[in-house]
Structure 1
Amino acid sequence: MVNRALSFGLILIGGQYLYEPSDFLKFNRFEIFITSFIVIVLAVTHLYNMLDKKKEFYFLTIGILFYLFSSTVIFLSGNLMAMLSGKYRYFTWIINSVLVILYHLFILYEWKVSFSKKAIQQKNRD
């Protein structure tokens, strides 16, 4: 599934760049949507597969979903935000910065849960 999704995304984005090469140097919302959508679908699939198994990398997956859902909306509105006044122009980028920090906190928590000395000792006992 992963190989098919990545191949599909590569074909779509490559086709767009072959059709319109000037989009390579622009803020490309289609590329943002396709790449984010593929990662979101794969993360949801991973969560679904964990329903009846041990929850490995659960918080990391939740962090990816949280960040990508939020940042995709922000990046898809990127051209709109460029038209706002100077006072509000950077508001979405500040929100994105906060989302990145939250995403890294999810990664940190997952690291603590999965790779702390207690977790490693408990895995060795099992």
Structure 2
Amino acid sequence: MLFPFLVSLVGLFFLLVNTVSFYRTRKDKDSHYFILMVYLICLFVNELFCNIIGFYAPGSNFFLSHYYFIFQFILLSLFFRGLFTNAILKKAILFFLGLVLVLLAVQYYRTPSLYWEFNLFEIGSTSILLVLYAIIYLFQNFKNIKSNYIYFSNGLIIYLVSSSTIFLSGNTDAVIFTEPFLLDFWFFNSLFYILYQFLIFKEWQALKHIKMTKS
């Protein structure tokens, strides 16, 4: 049990590094940068509480997933909307943002007990849409290697696809083996999370390099 938890702490450490890095170089940045910075701050707070609660009361931190998926969906929807230049895409993102939030509000109103469980509709709808936005962005900038947020978009796709697969497959409690240490699917989720944070760090380096080049 301790080893997977330590791996998750490594991911949390990299998240902290990224959050501090983006915050320290926030001066003279555009709105996309600030949205990403706020996203990282919210993500760190959520992950910190998730790890603390998960360590002292395993299985009692599921409710934090709702905050994670919802704030991630809102912030990154606005993030990609700002990156797109196509007016139809911009309107589509706002439409789906409003639609999903309304449906989730209705769902939680009708079934309050979902607050203490994983909400598969919440996970699937928000993750699929964000992955779709990221893929469209990469496709639009396929020939432009110097485009911003390429590392981030790739990392987002990799992590959301892997984590959503674990959530939606119902393997959240599945254990691969118990000796010499307990290894479950959350371990692989943590590994993909570390990769995600690494690509975010690469994005920060690229954005920093662009600023240095311009100056």
Range of TM-score over shorter length: 0.7 to 0.9
Shift of 1:50: 2.2
Structure 1's consecutive aligned runs of 4 or more residues displaced over 4 angstroms after TM superposition are 83-86
Report how far residue 86 of structure 1 moved: 7.0
* Inter-partner Cα distance in structure 1 for 2:184 and 2:175: 10
Give the secondary structure class of the aligned counterpart of 2:118. Answer: coil
- For residue 149 of structure 2, the aligned residue among 40, 43, 57 is 57
Aligned to 2:184: 91
Q: Distance in 2 between matches of 1:49 and 1:23?
A: 37
* SS across alignment from 2:178: helix
Provide structure 1 residue ranges, at least 5 long, that are not aligned to the other structure.
none
- Structure 1 window deviating more from structure 2 (82-91 vs 21-30): it is 82-91
- Once the 2 structures are TM-superposed, how far is the Cα of residue 15 of structure 1 from its aligned partner? 2.3
Quote the Cα distance in structure 1 between the aligned partners of 2:137 and 2:109: 32
1:17 and 1:86 mapped to 2: Cα distance? 36
Alignment correspondent of 1:20: 111
Which of 134, 145, 163 is the matching residue for 1:43?
134
Choose which of 129, 148, 158 in structure 2 pairs with 1:66.
158
2:176–2:185 CA contact under 8 A, matched in 1: no
Aligned residues between the structures: 121
**Is the 1:6–1:38 contact (alpha carbons within 8 Å) kept by the matching residues of 2?**
no
- Structure 1 residues 90 and 34, CA, compared in 2 at 3 Å: closer, same or farther? farther
Partner of 1:76: 168
Quick one: which amino acid aligns to residue 8 of structure 1? L
CA offsets per residue over residues 58-115 of structure 1, 9 Å max, x none?
Answer: 11111111111111001113x4442658739742111011111000100111111221
Q: Distance in 2 between matches of 1:90 and 1:27?
A: 21
User: For structure 2, which runs of at least 5 residues remain unmatched after alignment?
Assistant: 1-91
How far apart are the structure 1 equivalents of 2:184 and 2:115?
26
Whichever residue aligns with residue 10 of structure 1, its letter is L
Conserved 8 A contact 2:131-2:160: yes
TM-score, normalised by the number of residues in structure 1: 0.79
Identity of aligned residues (%): 30
Per-residue CA distance 1:31-73 (angstroms, 9 max, x = gap) = 1111111211221222233246551111111111111111100
Amino acid at match of 1:63: G
Structure having the higher helix fraction is 1
Contact 2:174–2:185 (CA under 8 A) maintained in structure 1: no
Q: Which moved more, 1:8-17 or 1:46-55?
A: 46-55
**Counterpart amino acid of 1:49?**
Q
- State the Cα RMSD in Å: 2.4
